[in-house]
Chains A and B, each alone.
Chain A
Amino acid sequence: MKNRLEEIRKQQGISQGELAAALEVSRQTIGSLENGRYNPSILLAFKIARYFGMNIEEVFIYEEDEKA
Chain B
Amino acid sequence: MKRMIYLLPFVGVALLAVGVYFIKTLENPQGILQVLPYLFVGVGCVIFGYGMGEVILRQAMKRAPDAAKQLEIDRKDERNLAVSSQAKAKAYDMMVYVFLALIISVSMMGTDLSVLLLMVFAYLSILVYNSYHRIKFFREM
A-B contacts, CB under 8 A, total = 25
Complex Cα distance, B76 from A43, in Å, reads 14
Q: Is A16 an interface residue (CB 8 A)?
A: no
> In the complex, which of the residues B73, B79, B80, B82 contacts A24, with contact meaning CB atoms closer than 8 Å?
B73
The total of chain A residues at the interface (CB under 8 A) is 13
For A1-33 the 0/1 string (1 means CB < 8 A from B) is 000000000000000000011001110110010
Q: Which residue of A has the minimal Cβ distance to B72?
A: A24
Give 11 A-B pairs besides A26-B80, A32-B79 with Cβ atoms closer than 8 angstroms.
Answer: A20-B73, A21-B73, A24-B73, A24-B76, A25-B77, A26-B74, A26-B79, A29-B79, A29-B80, A41-B78, A44-B78
A-B pairs with beta carbons under 8 Å apart, 22 shown = A20-B73, A21-B73, A24-B73, A24-B76, A25-B73, A25-B77, A25-B78, A25-B79, A26-B74, A26-B77, A26-B79, A26-B80, A29-B77, A29-B78, A29-B79, A29-B80, A32-B79, A38-B79, A38-B82, A40-B78, A41-B78, A44-B78
